[in-house]
Amino acid sequence: MPLRLLCVFAHPDDECFAFGGALALAADRGVEIYALCLTKGTSGSYRGGAKSDEELGRIRSEEFAASCKILGIAQHELLDFQDGQLEHMPLATLVEPTLQRMRSFQPHVVLTFGMDGAANTHADHTCVSAATTAAFHWAGREKRFPALGAPFQPQRLFHHTTDFFIPGRPRPLPLPWTLKLDITSVFDRKAAAFLAHTTQAPLATSVIPLFEQHGKYELYALVASPTPHAATQSTDMFEGVTE
């Protein structure tokens, strides 16, 4: 059986903006990847000429599928929570679908945002981080959401973090990293996946040069694991994972 990776985020384009290098590297390694996006991204400033939220949602769903294909992600899903409003949702409401996918897909490793909201400090990113972290801790417990399948405990939870900031945005309070991934070999695919989100072209045009300057690596913090151990620096997301 191949290694499995679940990545949970808030908006179509997060999969490449934040996690594109890690996901492309994992795909090249033969890892089975599930990309779970909680919204259709219909509240963003960039709409690409869409006349309605419904039309924008359809377009962004197609862009998301194209991006995932470039990155090598076979399984991807968009949920329909309201973009820009996750902070007003009960935590359990966000945890439930995330935990259900953890139990059904049974990933070895889970990726999500840090609680800082990532380099653009988006509140939806913080909420996804909280929900995914709770789901990671509860997925293996029989008393938590017993109707959602048999308990299953993933082995690693990583939060995305950063060491550079986006000009004009509030600065995040990022986690110290424990994992540094060299994404030089897949950087062009990360950029191409971002550009596949054509409605977000103005954002991609402004951010990709920052990635070229700072982002030939991605940083993550290991925040949870079933086995107690000291924090160490690593360059392999699957180090110590048992198949």
By the 8 A CB rule, do 21 and 193 touch? Answer: no
Q: Does residue 207 fall inside a structural domain? A: yes
Range of the domain at 16: 4-224
**Hey, which residues does 156 pair with through a beta bridge?**
109
Give the CATH number of the domain where residue 17 resides. 3.40.50.10320
pLDDT on residue 46: 66
Closest C-alpha to 131, from 169, 92, 157, 170: 92
Residue 148 lies in a domain: yes
The verdict on residue 8 lying in a domain is yes
Q: What is the pLDDT of residues 82-130, one digit of tens each?
A: 999 999 999 999 999 999 999 999 999 999 999 999 998 999 999 999 9
Report DSSP letters for 97-148, one per residue: HHHHHHHHH--SEEEE--TT-TTTT-HHHHHHHHHHHHHHHHTT-TTSSGGG
Does 206 fall in a domain? yes
Is 238 among the domain residues?
Answer: no
Query: Does residue 236 sit within a domain?
Result: no
Q: Is the pLDDT of residue 47 over 90?
A: no
163 found inside a domain: yes
DSSP 178: S
The answer to the question of residue 233 being in a domain is no
Backbone angles phi, psi at 137, to 5 degrees: -75, -25
Q: Cα angle vertex 113, ends 18, 132, to 5°?
A: 135
Q: Is the pLDDT of residue 140 over 80?
A: yes
Q: Measure the N-to-C terminal CA separation of the chain; round to a whole number of Å.
A: 8
| Total domains, the chain | 1
Is residue 205 very low, low, confident or very high in pLDDT (cuts 50, 70, 90)? confident
